[in-house]
């Protein structure tokens, strides 16, 4: 599933090809995504110019004309630039053709993503209750400590709650907890301030590094597959159940928390 670093890598990849360009035609081959593509979307964006391509949590916010085109990659989606008129393969649901002769193509095999519209000055409900960005000054260990008081839920689902901090998905929550030495099963409300300060630092470090790696391992959003590459060879715990810990050499364990698989080291994480 694309997480925050992959979405940010996508934003950086497509922004130079969209900003300042005008939409000449919208082609929708499949409207039934996680939420249906608005019937009037062509009316809203055709003839309008992309102004800014931004990101909020895992949402791409494409400022255009009188509103914002909101994109979400779901579990399997991607966006890339192709020459306008390029024949579409299966699962290539939407083309936004530009006056540059290129088209932004949205592909989503599982159709769990979205393309929605928000008028200027009308915040979309999906964005209304989001917490701070993890790389912003508004997010720190003190916030985690204060919001966790009295909570009996495990710490991993707690830091994956978008009301607490946005964009810390399964991959990076697992890696940050390992780096901070915290067992993902620990009750959120029983973790000390000092440990939350360390965890917040690791969340910021790992996400920033993952974004940097995404920018170097994937360069081609024009004509390629548009798929950001996870830095799998650098993961310490995610996706490695039963393998040896890269730090202590013990066998990694797996547990389900919040309906998600969580891999951790019993020796390194307490």
* Residues annotated as part of the active site: 2-3, 58, 260
Reading the block at residue 143, the tokens are 């916030």
CB neighbourhood size of 108 (10 A): 24
The span from the CA of 238 to the CA of 177, in Å, is 11
Q: What is the 3-state secondary structure (H, E, C) of the chain?
A: CCCHHHHHHHHHHHHHHHCCCEEEEEEECCCCCCCCCCCCHHHHHCCCEEEEEEEECCEEEEEECCEEEEEECCCCCEEEEEECCCCCCCCEEEEEEECCCEEEEEECCCCCCEEEEEECCCCCHHHHCCCCCCCCCCCCHHHHHHHHCCCCCEHHHHHCCCCCCCCCCHHHHHHHHHHHCCCCCCEHHHCCHHHHHHHHHHHHHHHHHHHHHHHHHCCCCECCCCCCCCCHHHCCCCCCCCCECCCCCCECEEEEECCEEEEECCCCCC
Residue 270 marked in a binding site: no
Residue 12 marked in a binding site: no
Q: Are 61 and 54 in contact (CB under 8 A)?
A: yes
Residue 21 marked in a binding site: no
Which residues define the annotated binding site for DNA? 91, 110, 151
Residue list for the binding site:
91, 110, 151
């Amino acid at each position: 599933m694309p997480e925050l670093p992959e979405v940010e890598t996508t934003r950086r990849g497509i922004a130079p090809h969209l900003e300042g360009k005008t939409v000449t035609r919208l082609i929708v081959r499949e409207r039934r995504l996680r939420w249906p593509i608005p019937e009037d979307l062509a009316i809203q964006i055709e003839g309008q110019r992309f102004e800014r391509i931004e990101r909020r949590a895992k949402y791409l916010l494409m400022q255009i004309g009188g509103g914002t085109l909101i994109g979400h990659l779901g579990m399997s989606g991607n966006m890339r630039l192709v020459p306008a008129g390029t024949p579409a393969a299966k699962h290539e649901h939407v083309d936004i053709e530009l006056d540059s002769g290129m088209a932004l193509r949205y592909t989503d095999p599982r159709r769990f993503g979205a393309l929605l519209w928000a008028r200027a000055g009308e915040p979309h409900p999906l964005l209304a209750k989001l917490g701070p960005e993890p790389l912003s000054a508004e997010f720190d260990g003190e916030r985690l400590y204060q919001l966790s008081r009295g909570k009996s839920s495990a710490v991993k689902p707690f830091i994956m709650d978008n009301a607490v901090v946005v964009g810390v998905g399964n991959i990076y929550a697992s890696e940050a907890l390992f780096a901070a030495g915290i067992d993902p099963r620990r009750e959120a409300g029983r973790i000390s301030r000092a440990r939350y300060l360390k965890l917040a630092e690791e969340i910021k470090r790992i996400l920033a590094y993952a974004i940097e790696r995404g920018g170097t391992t994937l360069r081609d959003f024009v004509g390629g597959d548009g798929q950001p590459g996870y830095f799998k060879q650098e993961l310490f715990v995610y996706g490695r159940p039963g393998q040896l810990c890269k730090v202590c050499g013990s066998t990694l364990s797996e547990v389900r928390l919040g309906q998600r698989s969580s891999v951790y080291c019993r020796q390194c994480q307490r």
